[in-house]
């Protein structure tokens, strides 16, 4: 909303520099976003919050400025003439809920021409286009009083005027020359034959005031904010008029706006007021009276204020204040303040003028509260833990394209009913897509050593409702050993959480060449694996991706308290075994032979992978390091050699295994 | 033999002078004390000498051996630690550090500041319904105040609880409603999380971003407490000398409501130029606050009695304050990040800077 200082000066003399005015209005809640000098005028662009319909008029803004300057503001109301009655046509309102009151003035023999400079300058500086003297006068009066007006070419009206809902499929060409198909969600003004306006939003082309117009039918009305909002949304329109109706308009000024416009048309366009007609009635408003106590005001805001200060500020905002006893104030709310409903609204009115910044800041003593169930800290702990392993956290979008999800085999995701774009029309049921996108992005920018994790929610339809589960994903793409790295991270995580009896079980999974199910107790908590070649191709990944996904609440419930476990004080002795075995033999089987034979082996690791020409075809070769330790004695070198020989012999017995 | 001993003494003195490294000293030890050293060969000649000479030269040789040993020991103590000097100009190894996303870091930092004041942290769900996202927050369904909260709706069938359509929450305030609904005051809670709005993506807009909601409800909570808590937060998070400015504003769920600006921590708001009408050269203006001197960072207010009532809390007995702020904006301000899309591209070159 823009206002012109010269315009305001017609109502109240502003005696402060523009800069000072801008800052004091801003600090009183009328935020000045921008202001500039245009010719001899200062133009202010203000943000009007949705509760302050009254600031959409010069009268309202002038009143606010008066309060900031601690001045009293007095409005000059025009003398209202309601005679003679318009006899040519009657006005019918279909539903008083849509339109409680409609008034019209007929002004004859006008001269439609250029507007006088002063009118044009006022409205243009307030951001309204100039059209001709008649239209500009209606806008001038709308800007003054806040009530939108519309002027029809009276000679183009056919018969009675109706305020009614549009018929489905009814067509309307606005003064913007665009045709719109209406429905019963639109409120229209119509005559016997045609629609002449989209009520409260825009006039129709067919009755527009032009240079040939001689007689004017001037409309002023109260429309339901909800009806206008729905109607203009259906028509994809947002006009100065609908903007005001949506935020309510003040009924008391309706006659003033109409009368003032009529007077100006007489004066400027040489017309004559020839008639008046109204339909419906003004909604009577009871004077709102609120009782507030000074002590509750102070308890609410947390500071002390002298009573006379409170009284003075409220009075400057047109509230009537009556003091009862030491503490009680009886406050009468001015009729134009439709937004004031209860005590706290009065507190705000006082404090915004008194100045929020004048309240002394204090820290509260917060009392102990009942603990809240939350996995917030657990998730943070996981994040920290994963960074200690060298992984980087990523944050990717929760919304993705259903087509992409389908490509990855995820069907029936939760969908957005009003997506902005097709790329973002569904909620992800897995973190895989986000991980792939992020890995692809980095690989395409020649980044290496990809070790990512994300902790976010996944969403799914479930039993006619939905589920939203916190989930951890891991994505690894290294130049070598990606899988053992990822498996190591998962194992470290399970160990860190002290989850008892977890296992990694081979399984087949869509999107993965080979996959492991992560099982804690008997419950699967997630899976890991190598992304399938076809998926890789589909999503244009240039490198292999190893991916794991784990459910946070499963991890949290499987987590066990850590207790110190004594470790053996006796030394660890290691021996290496160089081994080759056929590709069809799983390492698991080798490990079973090694571990199965005796109890002193505490760990084993692969320390070397051998790829020589001397290997038989179809064999892979490793050096396995075995770690021997006893919990109750020091093992001698001979004992260990002995044990190691036993293992070697057992390995030799196995088919497809060669020792080197 | 006398001459040979003296010559050996001299030779050692000179050699030991130039020996600096451990390696040099080891060579010296082998040369003078080793099995094949001149000293050793002199010792082997002792048995061929006369009895008196044996005593004299034997003593002389032993003294020399001790001298050399002592000298070498002394030298070894002072010698450089390594055998060969390290070329310190070699490049460092490629250390791969794990890192939290900068938004997580900022969110954690913000939450921790409030946790230290006694707030506890809980998260709400991202899928919400109209009642929690709007109605309970005193935002009527058909009202212009909803324009500020454009929202994504979801194809989940409406539930039986009369909570309206399901949607992606457009702010973190619904978690305030859930907590107030489910637990009794006193309450002091922080609730961070993702929120969604149908905004076209550009350098400063994203359809997904993060917010932090905070609120406290008790019998004695006042607007002054809201100011105190937020001032404490701003000074902890930005810098100890920032100031706050509370501007009256309108939010349906708070009364009174305010928008809060911090004084620009880059230019300290020393030259607020809102009053200056001549267009300034862009380069002359502070790049952080664009010359305004103030940066808008959050919205807040006293919880509207209608909201307390909707959650089953007596508005007569209890009062509360609430505030909500974005996470991206303070992160961008703090680290000079100029494009919101950087957060969600996850370029390693971006991630590894934090």
Answer yes or no: is A78 within a domain.
no
Separation between Cα atoms, residue B121 and residue B123, nearest integer Å: 7
Q: Do A27 and B248 touch (CB under 8 A)?
A: yes
SS3 category, A161: strand
Residue A360 at interface with chain B, using a CB cutoff of 8 Å? yes
- Across the interface, whether the CB atoms of A344 and B255 are under 8 A apart is answered yes
Q: What's the DSSP call for residue B11? A: H
Whichever domain contains A256, its CATH number is 3.50.40.10
Residue A79 lies in a domain: no
Task: Give A398→chain B minimum CA distance, Å.
Answer: 8
CB contact under 8 A, A363 and B143: no
Contacting A residues, span 81-120, partner chain B, CB-CB under 8 Å: none
pLDDT the model gives residue B283:
57
Share of chain A above pLDDT 70, in %: 100
Q: What is the 3-state secondary structure (H, E, C) of A199-251?
A: CCCEEEHHHCCCCCCCCEEEEEEECCHHHHHHHHHHCCCCCHHHHHHHCCCCH
Q: How far is CA B215 from the centre of its chain?
A: 25
To the nearest 10°, report the CA torsion of A394, A396, A402, A404: -50
What is the distance of C-alpha B50 from the center of its chain? 83
Give me the pLDDT at residue B269, please: 63
What gap in Å lies between CA B195 and CA A24, rounded to an integer? 34
Average confidence (pLDDT) over B264-270: 74
- In the prediction, which pLDDT does B81 show? 56
Flag whether A568 is in a domain: no
Query: Do A311 and A408 reside in the same domain of the chain?
Result: no
Query: Are residues A392 and A487 located together in one domain of the fold?
Result: yes
Indicate whether A466 and A319 sit together in one domain: no
Contact A558, A452 (CB under 8 A): no
pLDDT digits (tens, 9 = 90+) for A345-388: 999 999 999 999 999 999 988 877 877 788 999 999 999 999 99
Name residue, tokens 């400015």. Answer: B245
**Mind telling me how many Å the CA of A255 is from chain B's nearest CA?**
25
Which range is least confidently modeled, A256-270, A329-343, A478-492, B81-95?
A: B81-95
* Residue A110's pLDDT band (cuts 50, 70, 90): very high
Cβ distance A344 to B304 less than 8 Å, yes or no, reads yes
Asked whether residue A151 falls in the same domain as residue A229, the answer is yes
Say if A464 is an interface residue toward chain B (CB within 8 Å): yes
pLDDT over 90 at A7, yes or no = yes
Question: Residue A8 is part of a domain; what is its CATH number?
Answer: 3.30.56.10
Tokens of A149: 């007006």
* A237 and A127 belong to one structural domain: yes
Same domain, A336 and A309: yes
Average of per-residue pLDDT across B234-248: 92
**A352 and B CB contact within 8 Å:** yes
Domain extent listing, chain B: 2-78, 102-272+283-351
Reading the block at residue B238, the tokens are 């930005």
Residues on chain A touching B118 (C-beta within 8 angstroms): 366
Nearest by CB: B126 against A348, A398, A417: A398
Q: How many whole angstroms separate alpha carbon B154 and alpha carbon A396?
A: 20
Residues in chain A within 8 Å Cβ distance of B277: 36-37
Min Cα distance B93 → chain A (Å) is 14
Looking at the partner chain, which of B208, B245, B352 has a beta carbon nearest the beta carbon of A397?
B208
For residue range A514-554, what is the model confidence (pLDDT) as tens digits?
899 999 988 999 999 999 999 999 999 999 999 999 999 99
Structure-model confidence comparison of residues B9 and A126, the more confident one: A126
Residue A564 contacts by C-beta under 8 Å, 6 or more apart in sequence? none
The count of CB pairs under 8 A between chains A and B is 261
Instruction: Mark whether A155 and A44 lie in a shared domain.
Output: no
pLDDT of residue B318: 96
A628 sits in which H/E element: strand A619-628
Confidence (pLDDT) at B275: 47
As a whole number of angstroms, the distance between CA A144 and CA A56 comes to 9
Tell me which DSSP letter residue B171 carries. S
A565 inside domain? no
Give the domain extent around A427: 376-558
Domain containing residue A480: CATH number: 3.30.930.10
Q: Tell me the pairing of strands A91-93 and A161-165.
A: parallel
Partners of B249 on chain A (C-beta within 8 Å) are 29, 31, 49
Residue by residue, DSSP assigns B262-276 as EE-TTTTTSS--TT-
Number of domains making up chain A: 5
Q: Which chain B residues have a beta carbon less than 8 Å from that of A417?
A: 153-155
With an 8 Å Cβ cutoff, is A49 touching chain B? yes
CA B44 to chain centre: 72
Looking at the structure, tell me whether residues A108 and A225 fall in a common domain: yes
In whole angstroms, give the CA distance from residue A201 to residue A224.
12
Q: Supply φ then ψ for residue A590, to 5 degrees.
A: -65, -45
Q: Are A539 and A392 contained in the same domain?
A: yes
Note whether A466 contacts B100, CB cutoff 8 Å.
no
| Residue in chain B nearest A435 by alpha carbon | B346
CATH (residue range B102-272+283-351): 3.30.930.10
Q: Residue A372 and residue B99: Cβ atoms within 8 Å?
A: no
Query: Which residue of B156, B231, B248 is in closest CB contact with A352?
Result: B248
Which pLDDT band, with edges at 50, 70 and 90, does B270 fall under? low
Residues of A within 8 A of B100 (CB-CB) are 383-384, 387, 393
On whether both A209 and A343 belong to a single domain, the answer is no
A391-396: average pLDDT: 97
In contact, A374 and B121? CB cutoff 8 Å: yes
Q: Distance between CA atoms of A393 and A472, rounded to whole angstroms?
A: 11
Comparing CB atoms, the residue among B148, B216, B305 nearest residue A366 is B216
Task: Give the chain B residue whose CA is nearest to the CA of A231.
Answer: B142
Mean pLDDT of B100-126: 95
According to the model, what pLDDT value does residue A261 have?
97
The pLDDT tens digits of the residues spanning A116-148 come to 999 999 999 999 999 999 999 999 999 999 999
Q: H helices within A363-498, ranges in order? A: 376-388, 402-407, 432-443, 482-496
pLDDT of B279 higher than 60? no
Contact B17, B28 (CB under 8 A): no
Q: Please say if the pLDDT value at position B282 is more than 80.
A: no
| Residues of A (18-47) whose Cβ lies below 8 Å from B | 19, 22-23, 26-29, 31, 36-37
Q: Are A271 and A294 in the same domain? A: no
Residue B38 tokens, joined: 């001149």
Inside any domain, residue A566:
no
Which residues of A are less than 8 Å from B344 in CB distance?
Answer: 395-397
Pick from A226, A362, A387: CB nearest B99: A387
Please answer yes or no on whether B249 and A49 come within 8 Å at the CB atom: yes
- For B126, name the nearest residue in chain A, comparing CA atoms only: A468
Of A22, A364, A441, the CB nearest to B229: A364
> By the CB < 8 Å criterion, does A575 face chain B?
no
A328 touches chain B (CB under 8 A): no
What percent of chain A is predicted at pLDDT more than 90?
80
**Among B118, B224, B234, the residue to mutate for chain A (most A Cβ within 10 A):** B224
Q: What is the CATH number of the domain that holds A622?
A: 3.30.70.380
Q: Are A505 and A471 in contact (CB under 8 A)?
A: no
**Cα angle vertex A123, ends A121, A128, to 5°?**
125
Verify whether the Cβ–Cβ distance B147 to A26 is below 8 Å: no
């Amino acid at each position: 909303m823009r206002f012109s200082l010269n315009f305001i000066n017609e109502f109240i003399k502003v005696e402060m520099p523009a800069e000072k005015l801008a800052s004091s209005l801003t600090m009183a809640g009328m935020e000045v976003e921008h202001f500039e000098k245009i010719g001899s005028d200062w133009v202010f662009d203000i943000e009007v919050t949705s509760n302050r319909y009254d600031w959409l008029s010069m009268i309202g803004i002038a009143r606010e400025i008066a309060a900031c300057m601690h001045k009293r503001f007095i409005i000059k109301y025009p003398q209202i003439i309601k005679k003679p009655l318009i006899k040519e046509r009657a006005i019918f309102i279909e539903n008083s809920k849509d339109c409680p009151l409609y008034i019209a003035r007929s002004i004859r023999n006008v001269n439609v021409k250029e507007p006088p400079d002063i009118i044009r300058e006022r409205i243009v500086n307030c951001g309204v286009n100039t059209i001709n003297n008649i239209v500009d006068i209606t806008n001038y009066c709308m800007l003054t009083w806040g009530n939108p007006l519309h002027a029809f070419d009276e000679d183009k009206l056919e018969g009675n005027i109706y305020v009614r809902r549009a018929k489905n499929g009814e067509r309307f060409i606005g003064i913007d020359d665009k045709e719109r198909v209406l429905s019963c969600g639109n409120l229209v003004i119509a005559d016997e034959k045609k629609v002449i306006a989209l009520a409260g939003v825009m006039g129709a082309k067919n009755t527009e005031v032009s240079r040939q117009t001689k007689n004017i039918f001037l409309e002023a009305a109260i429309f339901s904010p909800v009806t206008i909002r729905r109607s203009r949304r259906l028509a994809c329109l947002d006009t100065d008029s609908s903007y005001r109706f949506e935020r309510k308009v003040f009924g008391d000024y309706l006659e003033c706006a109409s009368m003032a416009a009529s007077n100006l048309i007489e004066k400027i366009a040489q017309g004559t007021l020839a008639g008046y007609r109204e339909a419906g009635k003004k909604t009577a408003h009871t004077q709102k009276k609120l009782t507030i106590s000074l002590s509750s005001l102070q308890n609410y805001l947390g500071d002390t204020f002298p009573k006379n200060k409170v009284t003075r500020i409220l009075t400057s905002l047109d509230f009537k204040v009556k003091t009862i006893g030491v503490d009680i104030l009886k406050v009468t709310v001015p009729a134009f303040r439709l937004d004031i409903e209860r005590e706290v609204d009065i507190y705000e009115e006082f404090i915004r003028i008194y100045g929020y910044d004048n309240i002394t800041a204090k820290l509260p003593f917060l009392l102990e509260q009942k603990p809240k169930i939350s996995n917030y800290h657990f998730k943070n702990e996981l994040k920290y833990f994963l960074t200690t392993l060298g992984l980087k956290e990523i944050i990717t979008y929760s919304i993705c394209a259903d087509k992409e999800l389908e490509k990855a085999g995820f069907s029936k995701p939760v969908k957005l009913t009003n997506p902005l774009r097709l790329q973002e029309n569904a909620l992800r049921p897995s973190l895989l897509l986000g991980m792939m996108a992020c890995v692809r992005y980095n690989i395409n920018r020649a980044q290496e050593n990809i070790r990512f994790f994300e902790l976010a929610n996944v969403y799914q339809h479930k039993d006619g409702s939905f589920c939203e589960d916190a989930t951890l994903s891991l994505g690894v793409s290294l130049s070598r050993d990606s899988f053992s790295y990822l498996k190591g991270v998962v194992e470290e995580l399970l160990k860190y959480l002290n989850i008892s009896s977890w296992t990694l079980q081979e399984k087949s999974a869509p999107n993965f060449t080979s996959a492991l199910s992560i099982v804690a107790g008997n419950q699967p908590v997630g899976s890991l694996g190598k992304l399938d070649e076809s998926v890789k191709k589909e999503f244009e990944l240039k490198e292999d991706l190893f991916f794991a996904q784990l459910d946070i609440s499963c991890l949290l419930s499987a987590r066990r308290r850590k207790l110190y476990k004594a470790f053996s004080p006796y030394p660890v002795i290691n021996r290496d075994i160089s081994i080759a075995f056929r590709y069809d033999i799983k390492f698991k089987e080798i490990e079973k032979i090694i571990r199965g034979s005796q109890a002193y082996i505490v760990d084993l690791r692969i320390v070397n992978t051998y790829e020589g020409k001397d290997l038989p075809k179809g064999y892979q070769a490793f050096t396995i390091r075995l770690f021997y330790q006893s919990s109750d004695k020091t093992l001698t070198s001979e004992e260990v050699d002995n044990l190691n020989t036993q293992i070697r012999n057992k390995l030799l017995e196995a088919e497809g295994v060669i020792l080197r | 033999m006398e001459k040979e001993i003296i010559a050996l003494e001299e030779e050692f003195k000179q050699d030991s002078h130039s020996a600096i490294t451990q390696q040099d000293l080891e060579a010296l030890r082998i040369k003078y004390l080793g099995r094949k050293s001149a000293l050793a060969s002199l010792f082997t000649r002792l048995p061929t000498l006369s009895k008196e000479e044996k005593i004299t030269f034997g003593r002389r040789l032993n003294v020399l051996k001790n001298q050399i040993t002592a000298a070498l020991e002394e030298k070894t103590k002072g010698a450089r630690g390594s055998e060969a000097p390290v070329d310190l100009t070699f490049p460092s190894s490629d250390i791969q550090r794990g890192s939290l996303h900068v938004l997580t870091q900022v969110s954690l930092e913000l939450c921790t500041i409030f946790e230290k004041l006694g707030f506890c942290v809980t998260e709400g769900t991202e899928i919400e319904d109209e009642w929690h996202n709007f109605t309970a927050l005193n935002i009527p369904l058909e009202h212009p105040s909803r324009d500020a909260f454009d929202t994504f709706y979801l194809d989940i069938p409406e539930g039986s609880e009369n909570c309206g359509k399901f949607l992606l929450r457009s702010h973190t305030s619904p978690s305030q409603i859930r907590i107030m609904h489910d637990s009794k005051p006193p309450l002091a809670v922080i609730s961070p999380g993702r929120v969604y709005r149908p905004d076209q993506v550009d350098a400063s807009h994203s359809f997904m971003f993060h917010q932090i909601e905070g609120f406290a409800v008790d019998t004695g909570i006042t607007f002054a407490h809201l100011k105190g808590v937020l001032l404490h937060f701003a000074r902890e998070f930005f810098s100890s000398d920032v100031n706050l400015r509370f501007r009256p504003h309108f939010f349906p769920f708070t009364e009174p409501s305010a928008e809060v600006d911090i004084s620009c921590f880059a230019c300290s708001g020393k030259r607020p130029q809102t009053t200056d009408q001549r267009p300034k050269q862009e380069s002359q203006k502070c790049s952080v606050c664009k010359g305004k001197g103030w940066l808008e960072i959050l919205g807040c207010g006293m919880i509207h009695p209608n909201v307390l009532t909707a959650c089953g809390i007596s508005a007569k007995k209890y009062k509360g304050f609430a505030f909500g702020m974005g996470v991206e904006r303070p992160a961008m301000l703090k680290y000079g990040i100029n494009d919101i899309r950087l957060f969600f591209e996850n370029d390693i070159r971006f991630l590894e800077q934090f």
